[in-house]
Structure 1
Amino acid sequence: MKAASALHPMTAKELAKIIINHENLTILDVRNTNDFDDWKIEGANIEIINIPYFDLLEGVEPVRKHLQDDKKVLVVCAKEGSSLFVAEQLIKAGYPDVFYLEGGMKSWSEHLEPVKIGDLTDGGAIYQFVRIGKGCLSYMVISGGEAAVVDTPRMTDVFETFAKAHGARITHTIDTHLHADHISGGKKLAEKSKASYWIPPKDAEEISFEYEKLEDGNDITVGNTTIRMTPIYSPGHTIGSTSLIVDDQFLLTGDILFIASIGRPDLAGKAEDWAGDLRHTLFSRYKELKQDLTVLPAHFGKITELDMDGKVSARLAELYEKNPGLTVAGEIEFRRSVTEKLPPQPHAYLEIRQANRGKIQPSEEEQREMEIGPNRCAVHDN
């Protein structure tokens, strides 16, 4: 074997870059098998092995047949401690290039990677923030020294820092719907930035704080240019789900339409009622829009949905050709596909909805626990 090297930490940001750049990496995940099967790190050139921590307490012999001496190894656990212990044992056993993930899967779940989507007609740009460990997508529209943030997660500091670095002041935060898979940071960021907070009124009937109504006819202007964000009522995932057309180029679909699936209508217990709304949005409302709009969803299901630049997007016309949720033939078949044999619902989704209404105030650690796992907002578990 090669001479042992020092133990190295790896940040979630460094891991995200490796995945986005399609670099080779071997991951040893030492969480229990149930947690691993439910949610794991994925990537085009990632080889991942699951051997629970308790199987390695007496030595790393069970790992030997899985690891190659000339490959970088990253050890991962839930919070960091177990992976650090196993990584140290690998170093003692003579393995070079051994890393552990700082903060474990919790830090992986919270990392946001900004990617530029494109320029706006009258100046400015739109950026996608990829929460790569959870499959969540947020957006920032910057124009004329102002910024609007769409579908903000609870980690708001990254948006404040990014806007400041681009010479912009956050003037609007927007939720396309009442989220059930993650805690919204929209209201918090609006308060910190003295910005307006927007949410669809039909999703806000039980909300306990003030907000602006995100609905048809209430255009949102960003900056002193003609960049406008036009709300389009598009129910189906929730009764209030509202899409945004930005600069007549980009369609922010929230959780209604994804790249490889469509939004599920069952997270409020009203799948049968909302299936018709979902079909009308997808096959009537969206069909009336320009088909060359770039679709920017609020989630992705698999790492394969990221392109070579690390962004998640597609032309609307392309999705009508290849998205399985948009190729269902008839109404009966469609209704069956969005109400039967759905993937498991998001972890703690009922509590998350209550938190996003302002009905409960979980601590930071409780919020982390509530969000653990994949988003599961789509009909198809890709």
Structure 2
Amino acid sequence: MAEVNHISVKELTEKILNHEKLFILDVRNTGEFDDWKVEGENVEIHNQPYFDLMDGVEPVEEKLPKEEPIYVICAKGGSSQMVAEQIAEAGYDNVYSIEGGMKAYSEHLEPIKVGEVSDGEIYQFVRIGKGCLSYLIVSNGEGAIVDSNRMSTPYEQFVSKHQVDVKYVIDTHLHADHISGGKNLAEKLGADYYLPPKDAEGITFEFNDIQEDDELNVGSTKIKSFYSPGHTIGSTSYIVDDQYLLTGDILFIESIGRPDLAGKAEDWVSDLRETLYERYKKLSHDLIVLPAHYMSVDEMNDDGTVSENLGELYKENHGLNIEDEQEFRHAVTDNLPPQPNSYDEIRQTNLGKMDPEDEKRREMEIGPNRCAIK
């Protein structure tokens, strides 16, 4: 049997963030591929369902490069192994099966330093397979984690390695596209968990309220809350050391948050406009916007981080430049993209009303992030 190499999703992510040229063959069903796939600036990806390749690689052979590595991905890692073996047996060198497939890719978190804060740093944890962004603020050995994903191990390992005492775990709002790790992570790290109370109706566990202008101190760094409703009624942003604006799902780099994931689009559209066109506009435009999601790799900086100056977004982000109020209302309530998979179940889980098994939680999160209006 011809030799097949293996590559982890961490190694794959590093290659994508380093802008390496990659050829990927995705052998999932076409519908799954069209919904959600690996993306990158220098990624060339082709889809050929596994069932088309059971008798050989002829259906895809003319697409396969002869002189560069071939990476094969599937849903969980099994089919990619078999297809990779067939490609290698057909005479191709440097064939790799991506371990764990899209399931593992969806769950990988890559920590990247964003910049400096008082006596410390701020890190962005990039969940490249899902478009989620979470944050660790560190100062003088103390830390705060914002918008954590349900996979707690990457955060635990990072803070252990860097000897960070996490004091706070914070959610900017009640998430509907992914299961929050906030409560679980806070318990594991011995930290206080914070959630905006207006998003906590029906919640089944204890949490700490966060109100307008509350201030949390981490070492020498100040984290100040800023009420910013619209994506949800409780959405709260955070200003870190008057340098960074953590916007949750209210404002992204190339879009704005959708107001419909709790069935309240008509009620919340006015809040969304007021936040974006009045409340945010009064803030310093020198603030660096750090959102909780991104839509595509086009929004990434050269180092893999996702961030932009607030003033620049007021120039370039279409969602911040719709002067007519009725046109704005139409843009954020009509012709929206599909809602996130299992979004209502995810909301119920984040309130503690449901407690799915781990595999069910993974299934609920499958697919791209869809928190923006486009």
Query: Could you tell me the TM-score, scaled by structure 1's length?
Result: 0.97
- Spell out the pairing of 1:228-243 with structure 2 (5 A cutoff): 228-243=222-237
- Of residues 89, 92, 98, the one that matches 2:89 is 92
Equivalent residue, structure 2, for 1:199: 195
Contact 1:297/1:313 (CA < 8 Å) preserved in 2?
yes
What residue in structure 2 maps to residue 39 of structure 1? 36
* Uncovered stretches (5+) of structure 2, i.e. residues with no partner: none
Letter in 1 for 2:249: D
Report matched runs for 1:46-125 at 5 Å.
Answer: 46-120=43-117, 122-125=118-121
Q: CA deviation at 1:171?
A: 1.2
Out of 162-171 and 371-380, give the one that drifted further. Answer: 162-171
Confirm whether residue 276 of structure 1 aligns to residue 265 of structure 2: no
Q: Which residue of structure 1 lines up, in the alignment, with residue 326 of structure 2? A: 332
Structure 1 residue identity aligned to 2:5: H
Matches within 5 A, 1:360-379: 360-379=354-373
Deviations 1:132-161 (A, max 9, x none): 010000000001111100000001111111
Quick one: distance in 1 between partners of 2:2 and 2:90? 11
Residues in 2 aligned to 1:71 and 1:113: alpha-carbon distance in whole angstroms? 26
* Structure 1 portions without partners, runs of 5+: none
For 1:130 and 1:5, the matched residues in 2 are separated by 35
Match of 1:153 among 149, 152, 156: 149
Note if contact 1:5-1:97 (Cα within 8 Å) is conserved in structure 2.
no
Any residues of structure 2 matched to 1:304-319 within 5 Å, and which?
A: 304-319=298-313
| Aligned counterparts of 1:139 and 1:369: Cα–Cα separation in 2 | 24
Report the equivalent of 1:19: 16
Matched residue SS, 1:147: strand
The aligned runs of 1:258-273 (5 Å cut-off) are 258-273=252-267
Percent of counterpart pairs with the same letter?
Answer: 59
In 2, Cα distance between equivalents of 1:68 and 1:176: 45
- SS in structure 2 of the partner of residue 368 of structure 1: helix
Conserved in 1, the CA contact under 8 Å of 2:2 and 2:85?
no
SS at 1:319 equivalent? helix
For the aligned residues, what is the CA RMSD? 0.9
Q: Matched residues in 1 for 2:244 and 2:114: separation?
A: 9
For residue 235 of structure 2, what is the amino acid of its counterpart?
Answer: S
On the 8 A contact 1:160/1:170 being kept in 2, the answer is: no
Provide the rounded CA distance (Å) in 1 between the counterparts of 2:70 and 2:167.
43
Q: Following the alignment from structure 2 to structure 1, what is the Cα–Cα distance between the partners of residues 55 and 2?
A: 22
- Partner of residue 285, structure 1: 279
2:6 aligned with 1:9, yes or no? yes
**Secondary structure in 1 matching 2:72:** strand
One of 251, 255, 258 as aligned partner of 1:257: 251
Per the alignment, in what secondary structure is the counterpart of residue 76 of structure 2? coil
What are the superposed Cα offsets for residues 171-196 of structure 1, whole Å, 9 maximum, x if unpaired? 11000000000010000000011100
**CA deviation after TM superposition for structure 1 residue 5, in Å:** 6.8
Q: Is the 8 A contact 1:5 1:96 kept in 2?
A: no
Moved beyond 4 Å, runs of 4+: none
Q: Is the partner of 2:59 in helix, strand or coil?
A: helix
Aligned partner of 2:186 among 167, 187, 190: 190
